[in-house]
Amino acid sequence: MTQLFDPVHLGGVALDVLAAGLASPQDIAARQNARLPRLLDAAMQGSRLYRERLRGINPASAPLDSLPVMHRDELMRRFDDWVTDPQLRLDELRAFIADPQRIGQPYLDKYLIWESSGTSGQPGVFVQDAQAMAVYDALEALRRSTPQPLQRWFDPLLLTERIAFVGATSGHFASFVSLQRLRQLNPWMAQTVRTFSIQQSTTALLDELNAFAPTVVATYPTVAALLADEAARGTLRFVPREIWTGGETLSATVRRRLEQTLGCTVRNSYGASEFLAIGWECGHGRMHANADWVILEPVDERHRPVPPGQASCSTLLTNLANHVQPLIRYELEDQITIWPERCGCGSPLPVIEVQGRRDDPLVMAGLHGKKVTLLPLALTTVLEDEAGVFDFQLCQRDAHTLVLRLGGLQGREATRALNRCRAALQAFAATQGLHLIHVIGELGQTMPRGRSGKVQRVIATVSPTRRRSRDSHS
């Protein structure tokens, strides 16, 4: 595991991150301009795919907007040509991530591997080396979720806190893999940092959290909202000092509910499998992009730049930290707005607003007349991990019925996939304390996608009027 922790590189990155916080926007741009040619050079030297796509490009002088846009489908189809280390082969990596016992363990003693959900219909596999992890570690320790960077400098692993990660723990997902890595690097963290699965019943989850009584809860906004509901009922018997949210869009309405019901500080972040620490929230409550290490280009449906202050159709991401699996003008399907003015907190980093994943929790009929909330990320994890489907949409018809739309499958293959999904959903519902649910299949569907191409994968029974009201507060 030591090969995934480079203290010398981490120290240098950390000092630069601290210095960048005191710099100017022009200094941030200079860091981008220095790091981009090194990334392009590594890509053209080591990746057969990028040598083809960047033929004729001078890495020392090529402007970013002159480079081709890259898409996950093509990159994953040509994975072995994409990566810069010929030892990395997709079939072997998929065998590695199929084993849950290896979550957080190094691959070939020098890489960390995680998988992404198939929000766009195509799951991804992502490889990080010690140098990339040092960048993520420094950004997380010194920027994310703290108004006092020096406090995290002296306690970067938050050893004075009891931290609960409540999320998807059944696969090699970025947040869970990163947390397991830290626990393996620092065994003493096993007592202060614990993980809790969102796939268990709410009752079991509450029992475990109440026993641990965390001071910090890191989770998704829909899970945090569920915890606030339980606190209002008196079944949540601890008071966290902070709630860290990420992975989904945090609306202003949910934030207010968390702050008022739990009486704690809410700190939101923005990350992705493609770059773990894209954005962090300052003390003024505004999201800042870590633009010294990641370049975000908000674009329209034809990949033309949109002006500051205007919401994008999608976003092109360039990861300046990862030279093993280059991501250069990679289409990330989130919609972002980059605001032209600087934040009152004084940071030179740009202020962004993000519209990412926006799935609904489903309130279903439980036993003995009790209402049961099914969390959207738990549902999508069940369908991906247990049924092996990625191009789907799950819609609630009523308190007992779900409609599952499957895309990209035909004939017997589609029927078998539907049967797997129905069995997985019904088994999951039973663990949550629901009556037997009905799952109606709609096969061969074309998924309705927004302007960004991202499907809303879990949809509750909400009237259009109520939905417009909710979204107006987001």
Let me know: does 340 contact 322? Beta carbons within 8 Å.
no
Average pLDDT of the residues of the chain: 88
Q: Dump strand ranges (E) for 168-228.
A: 193-197, 216-219
The pLDDT of residue 75 is above 70: yes
Name which of 184-198, 200-214, 275-289, 412-426 the model is least confident about. Answer: 184-198
Which tokens in the block code for residue 454?
């991202």
* CA atoms of 67 and 179, how far apart (whole Å): 34
CATH number of the domain encompassing residue 24: 3.40.50.12780
| Claim to verify: residue 339 and residue 376 sit in the same structural domain | no
Shared domain for 181 and 46, answered yes or no, is yes
Tell me the whole-structure pTM to 2 decimals: 0.84
Which of 337, 355, 373 is the last residue in one of the domains? Answer: 355
| Segments forming the whole domain that contains residue 232 | 2-355
Are 422 and 286 members of one domain?
Answer: no
Per-residue pLDDT tens digits for 109-126: 999 999 987 655 578 999
In this predicted structure, what is the pLDDT of residue 150?
A: 46
Distance from C-alpha of 81 to C-alpha of 90, rounded to nearest angstrom: 10
**What is the secondary structure of 51-109 as a DSSP string?**
HHHTTT--TTT--GGGSPPB-HHHHHHTHHHHSS-TT--HHHHHHHHT-GGGTT--BTT
Report the pLDDT value the prediction gives residue 465, as an integer from 0 to 100. 34
| Same domain assignment for residues 257 and 277 | yes
435 — pLDDT class (breaks 50, 70, 90): confident
Residues 448 and 321 in one domain: no
pLDDT tens readout for residues 35-47: 999 999 999 999 9
What mean pLDDT comes out for the span 381-393? 89
Q: How far is the C-alpha of 140 from the C-alpha of 246, rounded, in Å?
A: 13
Lowest-confidence range among 138-152, 156-170, 225-239, 372-386?
138-152
Residue that terminates a domain, selected from 336, 355, 374: 355
Report pLDDT digits (tens) over 202-246.
999 999 999 999 999 999 999 999 999 999 999 999 999 999 999
Q: To which residue do tokens 């009027």 refer?
A: 465
Residues 384, 326 within the same domain: no
Q: In the prediction, which pLDDT does 462 show?
A: 56
